[in-house]
Amino acid sequence: MKETILALKADLTTNGFCDYYSGDNVFLSIDEDLLPRDVTFPAIGIKDGEIDYLYEEYGTRQKTYTIDLWVYYEAPTADETHTGSGAANPDGILGFMKNLVDHLEHNKLGIASIEQGLPLRETPSELFGGEDFFVMRKMLTIEYVRLEETI
């Protein structure tokens, strides 16, 4: 899990999957409700998920695990946030998620033992914040399957 999360962070930081996203705001997250103080938007929080083990014959095991990506997006107005407007927000949170899914589908992150990496599900977008701070957020769950020798 650790190697995959770090590879995913490096990939999202350095491989531009859309023109207006610099990759500067990718962070490891312990909770989807906590954001770094200096974050700007759009931002992506990476959180570890479940790991399932399947032991196979001949000393190998298959690890299937999920990683949750929380996308945080500035919320100027409902329509602009969802569908986009202007150079800084051309796609909105929905277009941003589409770009992210397209980038991560079948992306093995350069790790030889990963057999597949596939987006599984997206949550509905929701408003998140407090008294004077509001952003839209949406979660993408990705599943990775990895084979390892146990002998």
Residues of the chain with pLDDT under 70: 76-90, 151
115, β-bridge pairs: none
How many angstroms separate the CA atoms of 67 and 111, rounded?
Answer: 15
pTM value?
0.86
Q: Does domain 2-149 have CATH number 3.20.20.70?
A: no
pLDDT recorded at residue 44: 94
Q: Are strands 60-74 and 114-122 parallel, antiparallel or unpaired?
A: unpaired
pLDDT recorded at residue 72: 92
Residue 43: φ, ψ to 5°: -135, 155
- The structural domains of the chain, with segments of one domain joined by +, span 2-149
Contact between 35 and 25 (Cβ < 8 Å)? no
Hey, what's the torsion of the CAs at 8, 11, 14, 20, to 10 degrees?
Answer: -90
Give the closest residue to 114 by CA, choosing from 74, 144, 90, 82.
144
pLDDT recorded at residue 74: 80
For every residue of 107-125, DSSP letters joined together read --TT-TTEEEEEEEEEPPP
Task: Report residue 1 CA to chain centroid gap.
Answer: 14
Give the closest residue to 106 by CA, choosing from 96, 115, 116, 97.
116
